[in-house]
Amino acid sequence: MAYVNANNSNKGQRINEMIRVREVRLIDDEGNQLGIVPTNQALNMARDKDLDLVEVSPNANPPVCKILDYGKYRFEQEKKLRDSKKNQKVLKLKEIRMQPKIGSGDLDTKAKHIQEFLDEGDKVKVTIRFRGRELAHTELGFEVMNEVLKRLTSAYNIEKPAAMDGRNMSMTISAKAAK
């Protein structure tokens, strides 16, 4: 039987003597519903089986409690949490910067980097920075953006089309989800 003091971090779950309601809806250690039982009786039943009384649904009326081994229960909860974190893919936003007067070879290299980022599953923000009088010829930026899109080999989604934002023009693209 686990005796957890109030200082211990049991994530807001009340167990054993920490349950202060008059009666609870009880589920035994085999998963059978025993109905609404006075809390002292439920606590005695848990002690007889050398297990803990754990409040699993505190917002229900009356609260739902289960008779189980609290240490084992917490271990399984943490294991589920670890496994779910393991399967998550962290989406990153990569940025590629260039200028409107970019050469063909440099554009090939930048497009190749964008392609690599998309293949890894990341989003890519393509930014063209205008300086000085280049701002008078923003159509050059749109041409460069279109040229970048032509050079990409795999399927992609344009999440945010090319648009001016102050002195910069940017667009965001992501890889198309494989079905």
The pLDDT tens digits for 74-107 are: 999 899 998 888 877 777 899 999 999 999 999 9
Q: Decide if 53 contacts 42 (C-beta within 8 A).
A: yes
Statement: the pTM of the whole predicted model exceeds 0.75: no
Per-residue pLDDT tens over the stretch 117-164:
998 888 999 999 999 999 999 999 999 999 999 998 888 899 999 999
Location of structure tokens 């953006």: 145
- Report the alpha-carbon distance of residue 72 to residue 15 in Å, rounded: 14
Q: For residue 9, how far is the Cα from the chain centroid?
A: 23
pLDDT of residue 108: 93
Q: For a pLDDT cut of 70, what percent of the chain falls above it?
A: 93
Per-residue pLDDT tens over the stretch 35-63:
999 999 999 999 999 999 999 888 889 89
DSSP codes of every residue in 59-128: TSSSPEEEEE-HHHHHHHHHHHHHHHHHT-----EEEEEE-TT--HHHHHHHHHHHHHHHHTT-EEEEEE
Confidence of residue 2 (pLDDT cuts 50, 70, 90): low
Residue 6 in this model has a pLDDT that exceeds 50: no
- Report the alpha-carbon distance of residue 11 to residue 165 in Å, rounded: 45
